[in-house]
Amino acid sequence: MHMSKIQYLSQEGYDKLDQELRDLKTRGRREIADDIAEARAKGDLSENAEYDAAKEAQGHMETRITQLEDILANARVLDTKVLDLTKVRVLTKVTILNRKIKKEMKYTLVSPNETDFAKGKISVDSPIGAALLGKEVGDIVMVTVPAGILELEIIKIEID
């Protein structure tokens, strides 16, 4: 039994996971039960690929339900209005300057469940996210990424 670690989520992120959980427990379970019943009605279960597939899908779905229940039970929803912005923390938006290419980038640090690279939301567990956590404006961090070493200067810390 692994200990779940606390995840800090935005209200939006929490609601999204909660909605997925409710959907799986209602519509998802109902659809899988129908699939299993339908496959069972087709007779011989020993050679019934549809039945096996439906049972496997059921297993995956129940695993996801357990996972979501676990995340939500251990989640702390952060009120972004009271975040201390002197340091980079989860749910802060950080403007950083890539010193080598003189390019500014903005990232919002989020829990692994809210990662969305297209929206600039990077995980606090990612190399860049982990390197930025706890740093202050003016700090320079070195981050080793597959392409080499990034030299990032923290320009601004704000809330989305």
* Cβ atoms within 10 Å, residue 33: 12
Instruction: List the domain range (segments joined by +) for residue 70.
Output: 7-77
Determine phi and psi for 102, rounding to 5 degrees: 50, 45
Domain boundary among 51, 77, 103: 77
Distance, CA of 101 to CA of 147 (rounded, Å) = 13
Distance, CA of 130 to CA of 124 (rounded, Å) = 5
Identify the pLDDT of residue 82: 72
The reply to whether 149 and 84 lie within a common domain is yes
Distance, CA of 148 to CA of 56 (rounded, Å) = 41
Query: Does 86 map to a domain?
Result: yes
CB 115 within 8 A of CB 123: yes
The answer on pLDDT for 136 being more than 50 is yes
The residue among 139, 113, 141 whose CA lies nearest residue 127 is 141
Query: Does 2 map to a domain?
Result: no
Alpha-helical segments (H) within the chain: 11-23, 29-41, 49-73, 127-132
Best-predicted range by mean pLDDT (8-17, 41-50, 125-134): 125-134
Distance, CA of 69 to CA of 42 (rounded, Å) = 34
pLDDT in tens, 14-66: 999 999 999 999 999 999 999 999 888 887 767 788 889 999 999 999 999 99
CATH number of 89's domain: 3.10.50.30
